[in-house]
Amino acid sequence: MGSIGDNDGGSLYLYRSSKTAANMVVKSLSIDLTNKGINVVALHPGWVRTDMGGPNGSIDTQTSVNGLRQVLDHISPTDNGRFINYDGTAIAW
């Protein structure tokens, strides 16, 4: 929902705008903190079957959390400023 490049669904203007704004904060922080050796990334948990995600979500909470933990375990300076899916794939800003 926060990707401009990966938006082929339209609608949900306010929700998408707030997600995109949060992603801009992440990107700016990644630039400002790089000299301190701090890596900043945006993580996408996937479309998770929860009360908010609904029953049609493509993954369960365990898959999402396990994937996010794997991504975090392997973050390196080359990931700084990236938007990363729970499965480790890059998401277009």
Catalytic residues: 15, 19
Does an H or E element contain 84, and which? strand 83-85
- The amino acid occupying position 39 is N
CA dihedral over 69, 75, 81, 82, signed as positive or negative? negative
Sequential DSSP letters for 9-66: S---HHHHHHHHHHHHHHHHHHHHTGGGT----EEE--SB-STTT-TT-SB-HHHHHH
